[in-house]
Structure 1
């Protein structure tokens, strides 16, 4: 973020932070359960039931960090599992 603040070409721009590692919501849920050592179950709820009948959800999301990388050279150095472990540890510490 500091590199963006120092670069005039970033003014007014939007930038994605993330990884190019693609994962499904189902896989994300499974990973959280495994890494947290939880016995939670995954429950499938239709998208329309949660967000309404006219809501649309993209089938695939992978953040494009190309703009960020071109201006700052930034690349993700943490895997999704690394980030999930950090979040789980933080939530437990607050707990």
Structure 2
């Protein structure tokens, strides 16, 4: 993944899902690269809150509910305006 705009957009979408599903607002949308100090306010306490809310399992992995929500959102982004799938770039003929 080298498209920084696409990564930022995906991070923002995940943050919105976390807010809508678990009611937890994060201090940054750049959670893939944000540094934090364990036991300190900010990102570490937000991770604790997400775990307490059920978004993160005790082993640190995302919950099945969170994965399903993010997967569904990603699939919706892949749809074109007409509801079909995104074009593949293939060629064809109508005759």
Q: TM-score over 0.5 for the alignment?
A: no
TM-score normalized by structure 2? 0.25
Q: Which has the higher contact order (CA 8 A, sep 6+)?
A: 1
